[in-house]
Amino acid sequence: MAKPPVLTIAFLERLPEASASVIEEMRPEDAAALFESLPTRIATPIFEKMEKWPAARCVQRLSLDKAAAILAGVSYQDATVLLRLTPVDRRESILARMPSRLAGDLRESLRYPRNCVGAWMDLSVPALSLGASVKDAVAIAKERPVGDALFIVNEDQRLAGFVRADMLLRYSTGTRLADIIQTGLKPLFARTLLREVASDPMWDLFLRLPVAGRDGHLLGVLSRHDMTQGLTTITAKPAGPDAESPLLQLVGEAFIVSLAGLVRLFDSDDDRTRTDSGP
């Protein structure tokens, strides 16, 4: 597909959610061609707004480099879901082109059955050691969302406790986390069925809960949002990934064509204006 006109790019960049609604109804090959022609910084927010089945169809048709670049930019959980819907051979080819640390985390999540906690946990959220300071914790919180609490691990990488994010503002930057840690929180286990943790009373107190492996080592966190999304995905019975809506498909094609037509119209108006006004 030729490079989209400037007006189309401006629309896609400013209204990613509206753009996603239209693009996800296009033929998969046309949607993939459009994404190939877009800068990754514009394509990524649109991808995050798309329903997972249409987005997965695009992943299967994008070039490996483009698919890797987009998936590296979306949320960790979105990347996990989309890769889970991608054939294994292609999935590995995409992961091989992603940053090695992120690819390793995603492989770890993908090895769990999708009805387990481990399939929906986020391994990119860092845990801090008992020797870390409030300054260290604030620096982490500035780099990435940590939710309402930071989880602390001991020397064996097992959960030692947590520190509420709002508590960090009450102490000097040199205060050790070991001196303000709260205990009594037990981690979820990665192999536990997702439906079994949905009623955990700790959800009333936390937006995210820590997740441990079979050996007790802290692996990541499970957010309330991702748990809900996981339960919805598991119980839903979506149409197959190649299901099409002919009418909406035509609407999507008309959308792109119309924007291109508007650009040509504006260009011709500018030409007439320059002609009428003279050199």
The band of 124, judged by pLDDT with boundaries at 50, 70 and 90, is: confident
pLDDT > 90 in the chain, percent: 45
pLDDT at 267 over 80: no
Q: Which of 65, 66, 4, 54 minimizes the C-alpha distance to 29?
A: 54
* Alpha carbons 29 and 136: distance in angstroms, whole number: 46
SS3 (DSSP) at 221: strand
Within 10 Å of residue 85's Cβ, how many Cβ atoms?
A: 17
Q: What are the tokens at 61?
A: 């048709």
Judged by average pLDDT, the poorest of 4-13, 26-35, 125-134, 215-224 is: 4-13
CA-based diameter of the chain, in Å?
Answer: 80
All CATH 1.10.220 domain ranges of the chain, comma separated, are: 6-111+256-267
Is the predicted pLDDT of residue 116 greater than 90, yes or no? yes
Start-end of CATH 3.10.580.10 domains in the chain: 128-235
**Alpha helices (runs of H) in 144-243, residue ranges in sequence order:** 194-197, 224-235
pLDDT at 202: 95
Q: Is 222 helix (H, G, I), strand (E, B) or coil?
A: strand
Q: Which CATH superfamily is domain 128-235 in?
A: CBS-domain (3.10.580.10)
Q: How large is the average pLDDT for residues 227-248?
A: 64
Angle 186-188-190 (CA atoms, 0-180°, nearest 5)?
145
Does the global pTM surpass 0.95?
Answer: no
**Segment 33-79, tens digit of pLDDT:** 999 999 999 999 999 898 887 888 899 999 999 999 999 999 888 89
Distance, in Å, from the CA atom of 52 to the CA atom of 232, rounded to the nearest integer, reads 12
Class for domain 6-111+256-267, per CATH?
A: mainly alpha
